[in-house]
Amino acid sequence: MDRRDALSRRITELGPWFHNLRIGGVETAPDHFLGDYPAFKWEGFRHVLPEDLGGCSVLDIGCNAGFYALEMARRGAAEVVAIDSDPHYLRQARFAADEAGANIVFRQMSVYDVAELGRRFDLVIFMGVLYHLRHPLLALDLLHEHVVGKHMLFQCMQRGAGDVADLAADHDFNDDTPFRVEGAPRLHFIEHRFAGDPTNWFVPNRAATEAMLRASGFAIEAHPEPEVYLCRRAARPEGTEPPPRITAART
pLDDT tens digits, 49-108: 999 999 999 999 999 999 999 999 999 999 999 999 999 999 999 999 999 999 999 999
**105 - beta bridge partners?**
81
26-35: burial string, b at 16+ Cβ within 10 Å, e else: bebbeebeee
Cα(236)–Cα(136) distance, integer angstroms? 16
Q: Which of 212, 245, 244 is nearest to 231 (CA)?
A: 212
Q: What is the pLDDT of residues 114-160, one digit of tens each?
A: 999 999 999 999 999 999 999 999 999 999 999 999 999 999 999 99
Amino acid at 251: T
Query: In the chain, pLDDT over 90 holds for what percent of residues?
Result: 91
Contact 124/154 with Cβ under 8 angstroms?
no
Mean pLDDT of the chain: 95
Q: Is 101 exposed, middle or buried (CB count within 10 Å of its CB: 0-12, 13-18, 19+)?
A: exposed
Q: What is the pLDDT of residues 161-213, one digit of tens each?
A: 999 999 999 999 999 988 999 999 999 999 999 999 999 999 999 999 999 99
Neighbours of 243 (CB within 10 A): 21
Cα(59)–Cα(54) distance, integer angstroms? 14
The pLDDT of residue 251 is 34
- 150 or 239, which is more confident? 150
Contact 60/90 with Cβ under 8 angstroms?
no
- Please say if the pLDDT value at position 9 is more than 90: yes
* pTM over 0.85, yes/no: yes
The pLDDT of residue 177 is 87
Contact 58/79 with Cβ under 8 angstroms?
yes
CA quadruple 9, 10, 11, 17: dihedral positive or negative? positive
Cα(68)–Cα(96) distance, integer angstroms? 12
- Strand stretches in the chain, DSSP E: 22-23, 26-27, 57-61, 79-84, 104-108, 121-127, 148-155, 187-189, 202-204, 218-225, 228-233
